[in-house]
Structure 1
Amino acid sequence: MKTILVIEDKKEVRENIAEMLKLARYEVVQASDGRQGVALARSTDPDLILCDIMMPELDGYGVLHILSKDPNTARTPFIFLTAKVDQHQIRSGMNLGADDYLTKPIDDIDLLAAVELRLKKAGQMQQHVDQPGLTGFLNALRQVQACPYSTFRYAKKQVLYAEGDTPANLYYIRSGQVKHTKTDASANVFITALAGKGDFVGLPDLLQDTPYTESAEVLHDAEICLIPQAELLTLLTSHADIGAYFMRLLASEVKQRNERLLKLAYQPVRKRVVEALLLVYRKFYSLPDDPINTPLEQDISSTPFMTLSRENWAQLVGASMETVIRVLSDLRAEGMIKLSGNQITLLDIDRLLRLKH
């Protein structure tokens, strides 16, 4: 019989939830505040934790933070209970490692469905961590049904994490587009990197266990899988092939960012605009089989239109919006691109490549 810990300061709500779970043949342990909840989580080793957010002394975020740092409870599925949910709440909870949210008043069916799903995924996760292998690990991430980790849908402009947030998950993009941004002292925003299908987001800061040094925001609706920090560290230390793979990703990311930094510092704006066009095209519209080792010139084969706001183009180029628009207009007049609102079509890639060098 699975054991579920319910942490809720309101007695009536706590007992109603416990009653529903007991009818579904779960063993239930109850805590009336965050401190008692942490103690019971450590002593009873529950299979899942349901925890209210707003509690006196130690709130739900504090409970999750403490338990996520304890190796014995870090893998325990954790569902927040809350009377209201906004995007900031969701991001804060997910950054700490929460698996799901349930909004009060809680529907019986929603509660039992969420509990069943998280327990099922926890069982799959344990099997996956025991014998993943690099191929199995990557295949599981790509396949929704086979993946043991929580997957969420994010809307355009939704923030995955902000500068200064504490890392708790590695983000794997199943679909969609994400931008990494950094803000300087004058409040200017720069896009430092782009991420798309098959990319991992937030790896360096997660491994260093330091606050994020940049923000990550969704450019186009995305489906993203969250790998808890504790699970990632277990994989890296237990499986040499997975550790080597992520070392390779880190090395590639450092190399690409250094190259972009040099170009932003020394290239004229026209070249930077061309670089940005080709970067977005390669990243989102002409993906090679091996994006780490495939040169840009080898993977350009077609000319679909690209959709990105002028503000994002300016942040990517590192210039004012007016300057970027002027350069884009010049490229259009020279027959290399076509502009239609926020859509850009590359008409003469060979000439653009020559301009880049």
Structure 2
Amino acid sequence: MATILVIEDNQAIRENIAEVLEMASYQVLEAADGKQGIILAETRQPDLIVCDLSLPILDGFVVLQMLNNEKKPFKIPFIFLTARAERAEIRKGMEMGADDYITKPFNPSELLSAIECQLKKAAHTRSAALKAGGATIDRLPAEDTEPFKNLIRDRNIRTFKNKQIIYQEGTHPSCLYFILKGFVKAYRIDEDGKEMITGLFKEGDFLGYIPVLERSRYNDTAEAIDQVIVSVIPVQDFEELMGQKFAREQMIKMLTHTIEEKELQLLRMAYDSLRKRAADTLLTVFNKYNVAGDQNVGIKFSRGNLAALAGVAKESFARTLADFRDEHLIEIRHGVIYLLDIRKLNQLSN
């Protein structure tokens, strides 16, 4: 049962929302002002927040800003609920990281639909770990990460330049990599010579762990995107750590995300439309780059990499980008893609 935090100073409206959500089988937390809402959000960790914009003590913008400053592995979906309908207000909220914006008066079905959409998106983000991520210690509780931090500490450091191969498909692993800085793509080349990206890894991710665990060859190739710095962990040291029951259980938890994300990626490639794939790919890469919560971060991936990640032809992806640009969903400056309307892209993705 998902938990929804409702931050609304009008008691009648707050109670009405709570009643609707409880009838829809959600667990509801209520806050009458922004300060109380922040405290509940930090202590109870709800699955989603519905927040009025005009609040006493701290308004909705401040609530969102303060919650975004909290460094957590996953962002709590945030829906603004307000009587204001000015375009500037809506744009400000979305630029600050709000996921949706509902104007009063509203139909209960509209609210439930928005909540369901954002919960599904959040579930996909958590399970797929941004669709193409890897096992990362950031997904574990802080007290469970110490064995992995010790594994990484005091290791040889290697730097890879842009497009430099980190490991090659068909070779046996001699070490495990932990990414300290940068992005890495893993890919395969099919029989027609088409590249398909099988994984996208960022700072804090383990790289090349599955062949080590399976004692098998690499089934894809890993390549640096721009400059990448990694910590090199000998296979023997990793295997010794996996001999400990506690560490093994934690690694299994992390690897579960990898299995789920591969299944989701294949399903999307099989059934999603081109526009949906393109929107989802842009959001995936944007979230990878946007680790600091800056909505103005640009996507510096090449069109070929983006198309390979989406599993479509480069020409088709380029045409879709052109359509998105004409629809003012994105802007392209000096080859860098900036997302102008994240809300609409999320709607296309979902």
Q: What amino acid is the match of 1:264? A: M
Distance 2:149 2:341 in 1: 36
**Which residue of 2 is the match for residue 260 of structure 1?**
265
Please report how far the alpha carbon of residue 150 of structure 1 lies from its aligned counterpart in structure 2 after TM superposition.
1.1
Q: 1:241 aligns with which of 233, 241, 246?
A: 246
Please report how far the alpha carbon of residue 342 of structure 1 lies from its aligned counterpart in structure 2 after TM superposition.
2.6
The one-character-per-residue Cα deviations of 1:235-279 (angstroms, maximum 9, x if unpaired) are 0112x3321221112110110111011001111111111111011
Q: 1:307 aligns with which of 300, 316, 330?
A: 300
**Which residue of 1 is the match for residue 337 of structure 2?**
344
| Cα RMSD, aligned residues only | 1.7
Please report how far the alpha carbon of residue 343 of structure 1 lies from its aligned counterpart in structure 2 after TM superposition.
0.5
SS in 1 for 2:299: strand
Distance 1:153 1:301, change over 3 A: closer
Please say if residues 151 and 237 of structure 2, whose CA atoms lie closer than 8 Å, have aligned partners that are also in contact.
no
Structure 1 segments (4+ residues) deviating >4 Å: none
Please report how far the alpha carbon of residue 321 of structure 1 lies from its aligned counterpart in structure 2 after TM superposition.
1.3
Q: Is there any run of 5+ residues in structure 1 with no aligned partner, and where?
A: 1-132, 288-299
Please say if residues 179 and 206 of structure 2, whose CA atoms lie closer than 8 Å, have aligned partners that are also in contact.
yes
SS in 2 for 1:306: coil
SS in 1 for 2:182: strand
**Which residue of 1 is the match for residue 146 of structure 2?**
136
- Bigger RCO of structures 1 and 2 (CA < 8 A, at least 6 apart): 2
Please report how far the alpha carbon of residue 160 of structure 1 lies from its aligned counterpart in structure 2 after TM superposition.
0.8
SS in 2 for 1:256: helix
The one-character-per-residue Cα deviations of 1:205-256 (angstroms, maximum 9, x if unpaired) are 1111111111100012011011111110100112x33212211121101101
Does residue 181 (structure 1) correspond to residue 187 (structure 2)? The answer is yes
Report how many aligned residue pairs link the two structures.
208
**Which residue of 2 is the match for residue 205 of structure 1?**
211
Does residue 227 (structure 1) correspond to residue 237 (structure 2)? The answer is no
Please say if residues 179 and 218 of structure 1, whose CA atoms lie closer than 8 Å, have aligned partners that are also in contact.
yes
Q: 1:271 aligns with which of 276, 287, 290?
A: 276
Distance 1:224 1:141, change over 3 A: farther
The one-character-per-residue Cα deviations of 1:13-40 (angstroms, maximum 9, x if unpaired) are xxxxxxxxxxxxxxxxxxxxxxxxxxxx
Does residue 321 (structure 1) correspond to residue 284 (structure 2)? The answer is no
SS in 1 for 2:163: coil
Please say if residues 141 and 172 of structure 1, whose CA atoms lie closer than 8 Å, have aligned partners that are also in contact.
no
Please report how far the alpha carbon of residue 135 of structure 1 lies from its aligned counterpart in structure 2 after TM superposition.
3.3
Please report how far the alpha carbon of residue 322 of structure 1 lies from its aligned counterpart in structure 2 after TM superposition.
1.2
Q: What amino acid is the match of 1:308? A: F
**Which residue of 2 is the match for residue 165 of structure 1?**
171
SS in 2 for 1:198: coil
Query: Which is greater in Rg?
Result: 1
Distance 1:285 1:140, change over 3 A: farther
Q: What amino acid is the match of 2:303? A: R
Distance 1:162 1:188 in 2: 17
Distance 1:242 1:168, change over 3 A: same
Please report how far the alpha carbon of residue 162 of structure 1 lies from its aligned counterpart in structure 2 after TM superposition.
1.1
**Which residue of 2 is the match for residue 100 of structure 1?**
none
Please report how far the alpha carbon of residue 303 of structure 1 lies from its aligned counterpart in structure 2 after TM superposition.
3.0
Q: How does 1:1-357 map to 2 (within 5 A)?
A: 134-140=144-150, 147-238=153-244, 240-286=245-291, 302-357=295-350
TM-score, normalized by length of structure 2?
0.57
TM-score, normalized by length of structure 1?
0.56
SS in 2 for 1:305: coil
**Which residue of 1 is the match for residue 99 of structure 2?**
none
Comparing 314-323 with 167-176, greater Cα deviation is found at: 314-323
Please say if residues 149 and 226 of structure 1, whose CA atoms lie closer than 8 Å, have aligned partners that are also in contact.
yes
SS in 2 for 1:272: helix
Distance 1:284 1:209 in 2: 32
Please report how far the alpha carbon of residue 139 of structure 1 lies from its aligned counterpart in structure 2 after TM superposition.
3.6
